[in-house]
Amino acid sequence: MASASASLLKSSLVLDKSDFFKGQNLRQSSASIVRCTPSSFVVRASASSYADELVKTAKTVASPGRGILAMDESNATCGKRLASIGLENTEANRQAYRTLLVTAPGLGQYISGAILFEETLYQSTTEGKKMVDVLVEQNIVPGIKVDKGLVPLAGSNNESWCQGLDGLASRTAAYYQQGARFAKWRTVVSIPNGPTALAVKEAAWGLARYAAISQDNGLVPIVEPEILLDGEHNIDRTFEVAQKVWAEVFFYMAENNVLFEGILLKPSMVTPGAESKEKVKPEVVADYTLKLLKRRIPPAFLSGGQSEVEATLNLNAMNQGPNPWHVSFSYARALQNTCLKTWGGRPENVKAAQDALLLRAKANSAAQLGKYDPSGESEEAKKELFVKGYSY
C-alpha cells in the first residue's frame, strides 16, 4: 500500500492542512495536517521569539487545496526505489530524481510543503540551483526530517523507540539557517506487538520533547505517532490504540509547554491491519478517523501502504461533510510511485514523470476539497503499495 497522510486544521493548530502542514514496520495511511487550538489545553509558555512565525508557517502549509509532499526517504530507502527502476544508488541519481520532483512546473499549486532528507536540504539541482530555493520560488515551504531512526526498545515486546534528541537543538538551529521551516520526527506504534504501555509512553514523550526543541529553534513540528499497518487486527482495534496514543501525546506536549498553535498533527488514518480479512469502504475509514479526531483533538494523517487511488479516496471521503478541521494530506509513495515508474531514470521521460506527479498532486488537492473524481485513474495508480515490515 502507499503511504498517505491527512491533515486537520482549526483556527490555531495544524495536522498529515487548513493552516499548515503525515516503524521499523509498515507505514500506515495518513490524511493530512490539521491546525487548531484545543480549548481544553492551557499553554503556559510561548515558543520563544519564534511564536508568531511558527503560527504563520503552520497556516501556510495548511492552506486550502494543498498538502505535503514527503520526499524525506533516507539514502538507503531512496536506493531501494531507484533499484526498482534499474538505477544504481548514487548521489547523482538521487539528485536527478529529487530535481525532477522539486522542479515540476506548477507543483506549488497543489503542494504547500516538502519534507526533505538532510542531504536534499543542502543539495542543489542538476542545474546548480539550491533545492530549497527552487521550492520557495514555487511557494512551497521546505521541511526537514530530524529523527535518527528507530532502534529496539529495551524491556518491551520487540518494539522500538525513535532516537535523535541528542544534539537536536543545534541541528534544528542549523536547519533553520539553511531554510527549513518545519520538521518531521517519525516514531511508530505496533499493534501486533502490544502496544505495551512502555512503548506508548516512550513514543509520546519523545514526540513532545522533539516538538518543544523544534519550536524553540523556529521549526514547526509535525507530530506523528504512526500506528503501523502491519497486522491482522480489525478497525476497532486500530481505533482503540489510536485513542490511547493520542491522549498520551497531548498530555506530554502540554507538560513540555508546546505551542499548540504552531504544530502540525499527522495522525494515521484509522483502518484495519493490512493483513486483516476485514475490508472497509472509504466512508468507514473517514467515519472512524474523524471520530478519533473529535475525541482526541486535531491531528493529521499519513497514507502508508495504501495505493495511490485508495489514499485519495479515503481523504476525499473525510472531506465530504462538515468537520471542525482542515483535513489534508502528507504523502510519499502515494504521490511518487507512478512518477518514479514513468521516469525510469531516462532524461527523455522527465516531462512525462512530472506530469504524473502533478496528476496525483491535483487529485489529492481535489480530495482535500471533497471534489475528487476517481474515473480515469490508471491501473498503476490502483496498485497496492503495502510492504510488510516497511522502514525508511
Residues classed as catalytic: 224, 266
> Based on the number of CB atoms within 10 Å of its own CB, is 232 exposed (0-12), middle (13-18) or buried (19 or more)?
middle
Inter-residue contact 342 to 313 (CB < 8 Å): no
Enumerate residues 6+ apart whose C-beta is below 8 A from 361: 67, 69, 107, 109, 110, 111, 335
Got the DSSP string for 268-281?
BP----TT-S----
Cα-trace Rg, the chain: 19
Cell numbers for 55, please give them: 503560527
Residue 24 identity (one-letter amino acid): Q
Q: Cβ contacts of residue 302 below 8 Å, gap of 6+? A: 3, 4, 5, 6, 16, 22, 27, 28, 29, 30, 31, 70, 224, 226, 266, 268, 269, 330, 331, 332
**HSE, side-chain direction, 13 A CA sphere, residue 113:** 43
Phi and psi of 250, rounded to 5°?
A: -70, -35
What would the grid cell of residue 214 be? 523544534
Which class for 320: exposed (0-12), middle (13-18), buried (19 or more C-beta within 10 A)? Answer: middle
Query: Is the torsion defined by CA of 250, 226, 78, 147 positive or negative?
Result: positive
C-beta separation of 343 from 353 below 8 A: yes
Which residues have a Cβ under 8 Å from the Cβ of 71 and sit 6 or more positions away? 98, 101, 114, 115, 116, 117, 120, 332, 336
Cell of 314: 479515503
